[in-house]
Amino acid sequence: MDSDILERMANLKVGDVLEDRYRIETPIARGGMSTVYRCLDLRLGRSMALKVMDEDFVDDPVFRQRFRREARSMAQLNHPNLVNVYDFSASGGQVFLVMELITGGTLRELLAERGPMPPHAAVGVMRGVLTGLAAAHRAGMVHRDIKPDNVLITSDHQVKLSDFGLVRAAHAGQSQDNQIVGTVAYLSPEQVEGGEIGPASDVYSAGIVLFELLTGTTPFSGEDDIEHAYARLNEVIPAPSSLIDGVPSLVDELVATATSLNPEDRFDDSSEFLTALEDVASELHLPGFKVPVPINSAANRANAQVPETQPTDMFTTHIPKAPEIDATAIIPAAEPANETSILPAYAEPPSQEQPFSPVPPPIQGPIPQPETALHIADQEVPPPDEPDIKPVSNRSKLKLTLWSILVVIIITAVAVGGWWFGSGRYGEIPQVLGMDEVQAVAVVEEAGFVAVASSQYDDEVPTGSIIGTKPSFGERLPRGEDVSVLVSQGRPVVPDLGEDRSLSTVREELEARTFVWVDGPGEYDDDVPEGQVVSLTPSSGRELNVGDTVQIHLSRGPAPVEIPDVSGMGVDQATRVLERAGLSVERTEEAFDADTANGDVIGTSPTSSTEVTRGTSVVLQVSNAITVPDVVGMTQDEAVAALAEDGLVVASTSVIPGEAARTADTVVSVDPESGHYVDPAHPQVVLGTAGEIEVPSIVGRRISDARTILEEAGLTLVTDGADDDRIISQTPRARSEMSVGGEVTVRAF
């Protein structure tokens, strides 16, 4: 591609220097009207982008004039989502813009690498496009050529819009019939028909770009550009969801509104389009998106081709190559779960038997003899010894009674202990529904528990009524344990924001009311510091259901203020206008402007339409121009004195042939003309005096008086009469014109 560009732009070569300042380093890309080069600013030692217009436009004076106007307007735009224009030239052999160098790539290149985008990604890209376009629309500019090729992505993932007004400038030089200027796929219907072009035209083109981001294609086609362009005059753009799955209906509606055939049915401008886009993103809970940098972009390739060693390396800031985007990681499939293992059974603990005191064995009586005897071999088993049986006495009866009583006591104690340690020490939690807090606490405590009142939000139970207990009614619990008596607080209410608006405090308050908090979009506020909570959605005081979601909106600080246009105003009036806008005047600086009277404001720094923080100080640029006074008709000495009073100097005086006056030193012209403005740094003017003298009437005068009159006028008297003689005729006659120093002949008597 680079060789093709060099062939088509053979008059510019790598190493060429434009205007002794911008050295061509390498071509980046070729467009329909221009070629973009990477260049080095030899004065500042930094790399820039140089957009050189095609030779077809160079010899067109109308194009040059419009190019200057459009380039000046572009240079005044300053916004993070717009490519900065630093310089331009339309006076030499080349017409070019000097712009911010973007080392990432274009949206076209990103689409080529990645194809259609999911809705959240498309919305993320369009957010940057519409934000930049909105700044231009506020400044009264219309782009006319919104397309992916004019959307640039920086190496730090920022979206920037470029090429404002170039199509309009190029259109000035087009005279061919049926010539449609612009990129056909993105033209609005009014551009095709030659109608009035406004912000709504850019909205249409931006809608086509959104369609392409979602579907990977543009909506119309044709056998040639004319047919392609005219297709949009009758056809409605299809819904993106009809071409690709996963596009919500709200996004379809965005595209449909932006690309309506009638401009009045579209969003008025890109600001309204952006607001609708943000509303859809919020409604659909679309996640944020960091726009990727194209990997194989022309800007990257051009950056790689720049020689490592340059004569100005000591001044040149190195722009690193855009980092490559990590490839999608391949997530290995989950390994199969281990087969079911048979776990060894746990031995159950032995049953907890209640211990008993040993009971004395009963008194042994005589052992009965078996009816048969067992004989083994010849062994004879001797009869057992019979025990000695003592006779029963009264003392034995008493001992037996005592033992019996003791056994009964032990059995009773064991039974009571078993009951207590078994089920006797447990109680059943009573029912308390319908009671008030005092009654419920009393009932729970009568059941042997410690009642602890606890508040809890509930969507159905009125405030102050009992919801129940925890543990619940009917459950068994050892007596003496705590039982929570749940008292209803009713439905939760979104809390008021107090003095402590820190995010952590507000989150805790929401969680205490059962709410689920989520981060909402930030809001500007003049009073709440940035990062503090400025509002909640739903708003404070609203009654919600338990577990509802509440959005937290953090303050973005004071809303940005757009600097008003105060050019042409006096300093006092401009100061009042700026103060009403929330700004202040830091100081005034004098500067010259050929169109602004002395003492009037030329502009501000930062420039008008720039968004700044409320309270920002601006510098007023005040004109120090000198107004050329009207000195025509004065003598040369009078004119010099009058000009000097205003600070002007007569650089030279010249005789103007054909201009007549009553005297030779009468001023007949001044350059610059009276009423024009002169730079006090260059206060020179040029005077023109009469080249012809209007012959005065001297008939009837004495010759001596006539001679004086003619000499003052720059003429000579020719006569043979005496000084006291009176003139009866003169040649040339009065009011005729003659050259300075000419002779007037008279007759006298």
Tokens of 674: 């009276």
Calculate what percentage of the chain has a pLDDT beyond 70: 81
> Would you call the peptide bond into 248 cis, given omega within 30 degrees of 0 as the criterion?
no
Q: DSSP 3-state assignment of 120?
A: helix
Listing DSSP states for 250-268 in one string gives: HHHHHHHHHT-SSGGGS-S
CB 32 within 8 A of CB 163: no
CATH of domain 426-488: 3.30.10.20
Question: Looking at this protein, which amino acid is placed at residue 357?
Answer: S
- Per-residue pLDDT band at 552 (split at 50, 70, 90): very high
Nearest to 686 by CA among 665, 672, 704, 676: 672
Q: State how far Cα 332 lies from the chain centre.
A: 38
Q: How much is the average pLDDT of 741-748?
A: 87
Helix (H, G, I), strand (E, B) or coil at 94: coil
Q: How far apart are CA 606 and CA 619, in angstroms?
A: 7
In DSSP terms, 690 is beta-bridged to 656
For 160, 391, 603, 638, 680, the CA distances from 123, given in Å and listed in that order, are 15, 113, 36, 71, 53
Q: Indicate the SS3 state at residue 303.
A: helix
| For range 263-268, the mean pLDDT | 96
DSSP lists the bridge partners of residue 696 as none
Q: Find the angle CA(452)-CA(456)-CA(457) to the nearest 5 degrees.
A: 170
Of the candidate ranges 67-71, 332-336, 479-483, 688-692, the one whose mean pLDDT is the lowest: 332-336
pLDDT at 325 over 70: no
Q: What is the pLDDT of residue 559?
A: 85
> Do you find a cis peptide bond into 606, omega within 30 degrees of 0?
yes
The arithmetic mean of pLDDT across residues 77-84, rounded, is: 89
Cα separation, 373 vs 360, in Å, equals: 32
More confident residue, 398 or 27: 27
Query: How many helices (H) does the chain have, and how many strands (E)?
Result: 18, 31
Distance CA 286, CA 643 (A): 69
The pLDDT of residue 347 is above 60: no
Residue 473 has pLDDT above 80, yes or no: no
Interatomic CA distance for residues 418 and 69, integer angstroms: 104
* Domain spans, the chain: 2-303, 426-488, 503-554, 560-624, 695-749
Strands, E assignment, 555-675: 560-562, 584-591, 601-605, 611-613, 617-623, 626-627, 649-661, 667-671
Per-residue pLDDT tens for 576-604? Answer: 999 999 999 999 999 999 999 999 999 99
Mean pLDDT of the chain: 81
73 versus 615: the higher-pLDDT residue is: 615
d(CA 30, CA 321): 21
Name the E strands within 31-80. 34-41, 46-53
DSSP H helices, 284-387, are 298-305
Fold assignment, 560-624: Trypsin Inhibitor V; Chain A (3.30.10)
What is the reported pLDDT for 412? 65
Q: Confirm if 40 and 23 have CB atoms less than 8 A apart.
A: yes
572 confidence band (pLDDT: 50, 70, 90) = very high
Contact 105, 153 (CB under 8 A): yes
- The predicted model gives 30-53 an average pLDDT of 87
Helix (H) or strand (E) holding 404: helix 394-419
Q: CATH number of the domain at 503-554, out of 3.90.550.10, 3.10.580.10, 3.20.20.210, 3.30.10.20?
A: 3.30.10.20
In angstroms, what CA-CA distances link 715 with 691, 703, 731? 12, 14, 12
Residue 65 confidence class, pLDDT cut points 50, 70, 90: confident
Q: Which helix (H) or strand (E) is 729 found in, with range? A: strand 727-731
Sign of CA dihedral 180, 182, 185, 186: negative
Written out in words, the top-level CATH class of the domain with range 695-749 is alpha beta
pLDDT tens digits, residue range 118-171?
999 999 999 999 999 999 999 888 999 999 999 999 999 999 998 876 555 445
Tokens (6 digits) for 300: 């990257």
pLDDT over 60 at 334, yes or no:
no
Which segment of 197-206, 318-327, 438-447 scores lowest on mean pLDDT?
A: 318-327
Rg (CA), the chain: 51
Backbone CA torsion sign across 494, 500, 506, 511: negative
d(CA 534, CA 516): 18
pLDDT digit string, tens, across residues 601-610: 999 999 999 9
Look at residue 373 in the predicted model and tell me its pLDDT: 34
Catalytic residues: 145
The residue type found at 147 is K
Whole-model pTM? 0.43
Dump pLDDT digits (tens) for 636-668.
999 999 999 999 999 999 988 878 888 888 899
Q: Residues 530-547: what's their mean pLDDT?
A: 94
* Equal fold, 2-303 vs 695-749: no
Per-residue model confidence as pLDDT tens digits over 456-468: 998 888 888 888 8
CA 576 to chain centre: 29
Dihedrals phi, psi of 587, to nearest 5 degrees: -170, 175
Could you read off the pLDDT of 357-383 as tens digits, one per residue? 333 333 333 333 333 333 333 334 344
User: What whole-number distance in Å separates Cα of residue 616 and Cα of residue 639?
Assistant: 47
Nearest to 230 by CA among 196, 273, 266, 261: 261
Q: Are 33 and 53 in contact (CB under 8 A)?
A: yes
What is the side-by-side order of every strand in the sheet holding 34-41?
A: 17-18, 22-30, 34-41, 46-53, 96-99, 85-89
Copy the structure tokens of residue 608: 């008008």
For domain 2-303, give the fold.
Transferase(Phosphotransferase); domain 1 (1.10.510)
Q: Is the peptide bond before 538 cis (omega within 30 degrees of 0)?
A: yes
Work out whether strand 667-671 and strand 684-694 pair parallel, antiparallel, or are unpaired: antiparallel
**Residue 413 clears pLDDT 50, i.e. is over it:** yes
- 736 φ, ψ (degrees, to nearest 5): -80, 165
User: Which pLDDT does position 547 carry in this prediction?
Assistant: 93
Question: Does residue 94 have a pLDDT over 50?
Answer: yes
Average pLDDT on 108-127 reads: 95
pLDDT in tens, 506-537: 999 999 999 999 999 999 888 899 999 999 99
- The distance from CA 477 to its chain's CA centroid, rounded to whole angstroms, is 61
pLDDT-derived band of residue 355, with 50, 70 and 90 as boundaries? very low
